[in-house]
Amino acid sequence: MFSVLIPTWNNLAYLKLCVESIRKFSSYDHEILIHVNDGSDGTLEWVRSQGLKHSHTKKNIGVCLSVNHLAAQAKNDWIVYVNDDMVCCPGWDTAFVNAIKSSKTDLALFFSAMIQPYDTGHPCVIVQDFGSTPSDFDEFKMLENYMSVTKTDVEGQGSQPTLVLRKWWHLVGGYSLEFSPGMSSDDDLLMKFWVIGCRNFRMISLSRFYHFGSKSTHRIRRNRGGRAFVMKWGITQQEFHSRYLSKSGQLAAEMLEAKQSIQRFPHATLHGKLKRAAYGIFGNYPLGDLEAWDTGPAQHIAADDSDV
């Protein structure tokens, strides 16, 4: 049915839970692909012992390159990007399948609803505590309560995991390298889909994943994703969300009713232009961020000993 893409970086205990949940709680058979960054904690040996389709780089190449690398190997038409610190809940894939069937177009991005043990302040995140680490994860409690909070689908909202048709992923080039190792790569992806005409961004409330919460990002040197976004697009992420993404459901309905493309193409703002000019004059961005994170991520792929 789907190709499930999971990048991992020395998070073996979390990865085991993630893969086990896909095997236990999926209604359909899915292709699981793992990209192992480093893997010196035993991840590489475990993935091989499980017979999982995988690739491997000796160093952490970040989310952007890892997911793109896996997407290139995917066999199914629909791909799902899942973080290694997530546990899928029963019905996650059925809800996605129903969303695909009910959609008027396959040019769409679908997202799961995330359950987290702490309040992030995000209105779409469901707060339920089923454990903060694999050692105290309470699967029974999750199965008993994961649907106890009522949510409806949300239009114009990005989240994780992400479901997309593989051909559209490749058309826009997947995650952009300049956002490596990954901060703001999701918003850049949303913008690229908007540019090619997508107006269908929907969080599917019945597709739910428990998220332990950013177990890798605190270990990396983060790129300045917001800065890279405004330099690339001439508009800030906040402006893109408020002026365009949040209105995508309304625009999709208008397009369907009018049976024609409504011209709502993003425009650079004065605020965005000024920020872009300042960043361009006073800094070396995004190359400076890339160099600070890792002096040569591409060579790690070229020199890697992948076995897919």
Per-residue pLDDT, 9: 93
Q: Per-residue pLDDT for the chain (308 aa), expressed as one digit of tens each?
A: 999 999 999 999 999 999 999 999 999 999 999 999 999 999 999 999 999 999 999 989 989 999 999 999 999 999 999 999 999 999 999 999 999 999 999 999 999 999 999 988 888 899 999 999 999 999 999 999 999 999 999 998 888 899 999 999 999 999 998 888 878 899 999 999 999 999 999 999 999 999 997 665 566 677 788 888 998 999 999 999 888 888 887 765 565 555 454 447 788 888 888 888 888 787 777 777 777 766 455 445 533 444 54
Half-sphere exposure of 139 (CA within 13 A, CB side): 13
Q: What is the maximal distance between C-alpha atoms in the chain?
A: 56
Convert 174-206 to b/e letters by CB count within 10 Å (16 or more is b).
Answer: bbbbbbbbbbbbbbbbbbbbbeeebbbbbbbbb
Per-residue pLDDT, 76: 98
Per-residue pLDDT, 302: 36
Per-residue pLDDT, 254: 61
